[in-house]
Amino acid sequence: MKKLWPVLLLLSVFLIACEKEPGEGGTATIVGKIYAYDFNAEMTSFRTEYYAPDEDVYIIYGDDTIFNDRTRTNFDGAYRFKYLRPGSYTIFAYSKNLETKLPPLYAVKKTVTILPDQDIVTIEDIEIVK
């Protein structure tokens, strides 16, 4: 029995070290769409709205401070991030600022949590101004 303790201790340390943080390597997928409001160049006249094709969408794993991956929307504004582990994620896309009408873009963010038993998490539309 005394010889079993070191093995149990080593096994418990190994199991604790295997705890995964948010990020790649899992089986879950986050899906969503980007919806755009299109204005003229001066941002004074609304033209149209649509699900935005070919937009960059970013993901941040956990509480990281910079983005970890990027994808682009398809023809109907849809995107997905695959092979994610359970945890917290922030999805964002850049938008023009309709109030200030100035060039600096800002990030429109959605935060989502993947639970251990979830395979697909759908988030609400991210709305941007173009």
CATH number at residue 114: 2.60.40.10
Q: Is the separation of the CB atoms in 89 and 77 below 8 Å?
A: no
- In the predicted structure, residue 55 carries a pLDDT above the cut 70: yes
Domain count of the fold of the chain: 1
Average pLDDT, the chain: 87
Q: What are phi and psi of 127, to 5 degrees?
A: -100, 130
Assigned domain for 14 exists: no
Please give the average per-residue pLDDT across 41-68, as a whole number. Answer: 95
pLDDT at 85: 97
Confidence of residue 51 (pLDDT cuts 50, 70, 90): very high
Assigned domain for 78 exists: yes
- In the predicted structure, residue 13 carries a pLDDT above the cut 70: no
Other beta carbons within 10 Å of 124: 10
- CA–CA distance, 54 with 73 (Å, rounded to integer): 5
- Measured between alpha carbons, how far is residue 126 from residues 29, 63, 77, 93 in Å? 17, 20, 10, 7
pLDDT at 9: 47
Domain that holds residue 116: 21-129
